[in-house]
Amino acid sequence: MKVIIINGPNLNFLGIREKGVYGNTTYEEMCSYLYKEAKKIQVHVDIVQSNIEGEIINFIQGAYEKYDGIIINAGAYTHYSIAIFDAIKSISINTIEVHLSNIQAREEFRHKSVIAPACYGQICGFGKYGYVMAINALVQQ
C-alpha cells in the first residue's frame, strides 16, 4: 500500500510556530516519526509539503494512479480553498483530512473545513499521532 502525506502552508515551521498550539516537535522530527510508524504497519509513505496552493493541487493530481491513499493537512487552505476541494474530488483516491490541533476548539474561522465534504474522514486534535491514525484508517479500507 502506498500513501502520500501532503502538508500545506506553515507546517514546515512546526517547532517554531505557535508552540503552545503545535508543540516543540519540528517538521523534520515529525516526518521521521511518521516514516518510522508507517514502516511498522508496512505502509509505504511519501511526505511532501508546500506553502503554495497550486503546488498542493499538483501533489493531489500527481497522486492519481500512483497512490492508494492521501492524507492531507491543508493548513489554513482547509478553510477556504475550493480549488483543493475540487482537486480531491477529481481523483478517486481515499483521502483523509488531518489537523494537528482541534480546529473545533479554536477560532470560529477554523471550525469550517471546505475540503471535508471531499474527504473520506477528518481527524483533528491528536497532534502528529493523527497522521498515524489516518494511515491505519486507510489500511482498513
Catalytic residues: 22, 99
| CB nearer ligand DQA, residue 67 or residue 131 | 131
Q: For the CB of residue 99, give the shortest distance to ligand DQA in the complex, in Å.
A: 4
Tell me the C-alpha distance between 7 and 130, whole Å. 13
Q: Which of 10/25 has CB closer to ligand DQA? A: 10
In angstroms, rounded to a whole number, what is the distance separating the alpha carbons of residues 51 and 31?
A: 17
The least distance separating ligand DQA from the CB of residue 101, rounded to whole angstroms, comes to: 3
* H/E run at residue 131: helix 129-139
CA distance 51 to 20: 22
Give contact residues for ligand DQA (rule: CB under 6 A).
Answer: 10, 73, 75-76, 78, 99-101, 103, 110
- Buried b / exposed e along 32-45 (16+ C-beta atoms within 10 A): eebeebbeeeebeb
> In this complex, which beta carbon is closest to ligand DQA, that of residue 68 or of residue 127?
127
Least Cβ distance, residue 65 to ligand DQA (angstroms): 27
